[in-house]
Chain A
């Protein structure tokens, strides 16, 4: 599958989020924490938009049986993954919607921390962020398993789903570091 513009934009988004995280590691105190929170926010925004994109692909496949938003043939494609009637939803809810709601929660937690790093609830929010990120891991593992073994004509890799999965992994790493900073008095 050729790299199309939306995919390039998502990859750039992931690269920016990762760069922010790397930069934050070399900064100390409040500045470093703030940059780390920016990185988490960037990961959650990429996750939000990529989830929305997969939901749009889902609707597009339902409507017309095919989509111009992603390839539908080959190893790297969306048609056989997002278009699979058996695996494209969680209890009837498309995975794109599930992703949107999940990344909204992560975005809210980090945005709250970013807006008031010294609030009384900041420490508990760092814990909630880590737990919420961890809660997504079994779903990501399950979806990768489904892509590789269960969908029609498996294995397939859905690139936009992978962007969402990487966003969660990135967020989780950042949430872990943020919590460490809070607990080890490196917050500000």
Chain B
């Protein structure tokens, strides 16, 4: 009697094709990435000198009320070195920080001296430190030097050194931008060229003349005040 044989199920290949598939995938992805870089090169974004400053959008107070603000709207991308242009000082503060409290006077002086060539932007954060608790009312009072108890933890904002500030204060109390800016603490200020490139970061001491602070950087880089 003839024996019936079951048809054998198709067998896979002897070699494992997954390695080849992985190599092909790597190749295809690399080719796409290379094409992207040819079309639009990767831009280094960060707070270090020579990098593109991290953009942000948030609500900002300009003395009248809170409005949408986007840092990149201040940028002049067509600016070239040597051209006239509007430079930007980005200052990070915490309204409860005593150093920020005393720097308020210096910033007022710098603004008086440089406001024709430099736009000042103060970004207010709330550092995760006990006793540091802020609010939009406190931000307004810090900027406008109006009566409000709570600046520098338990001082009245009206007593802040210096004059009323007339530039934009940005609400970043929930620290959304601090990561991109690698915020080392407050106060922190950086000077940006009109085309958005970071020109001066106080953390990069080796790049500057000894002991240079913001005033010196403004004099050296913007000049003509």
Q: Name A residues whose Cβ lies closer than 8 Å to a Cβ of B.
A: 30, 45, 48-49, 52-53, 55-60, 62-67, 69, 84-86, 92, 96, 100-101, 104, 107-108, 111-112, 115-122, 152, 188
Contact = CB atoms under 8 A, between A and B. Distances in A.
Contact of B42 (A59, A64, A85, A92): A59
Interface residues of B, number: 40
Contacts of B24: 111
B10 A56 contact: no
Contact of A65 (B9, B10, B22, B75): B75
A152 B40 contact: no
Identify whether the interface residues of A are mostly helix, strand, loop, or mixed: helix
B36 A59 contact: yes
Interface stretch (B25-33, B120-128, B141-149): B25-33
A45 B41 CA distance: 22
B111 to A, nearest CB: 25
B10 A188 contact: yes
A107 B18 CA distance: 12
A8 B222 CA distance: 47
B56 A85 contact: yes
Contacts of B75: 65
B56 A63 contact: no
Nearest to A91: B179
A52 B32 contact: yes
Given A48-B29, A112-B17, 18 more contacts: A57-B40, A62-B43, A65-B75, A65-B77, A86-B56, A86-B57, A86-B176, A96-B36, A104-B28, A108-B25, A111-B21, A116-B13, A117-B12, A119-B13, A120-B12, A122-B12, A152-B68, A152-B70
B40 A85 contact: no
A56 B33 CA distance: 9
A137 to B, nearest CB: 22
B17 A118 contact: no
A59 B40 contact: yes
A154 to B, nearest CB: 12
Contacts of A101: 29
A92 B17 CA distance: 35
Contacts of B71: 85
A56 B77 contact: no
B11 interface: yes
Contacts of B179: 92
Contact of B43 (A63, A112, A122): A63
A52 B20 contact: no
A59 B42 CA distance: 6
Nearest to A62: B43
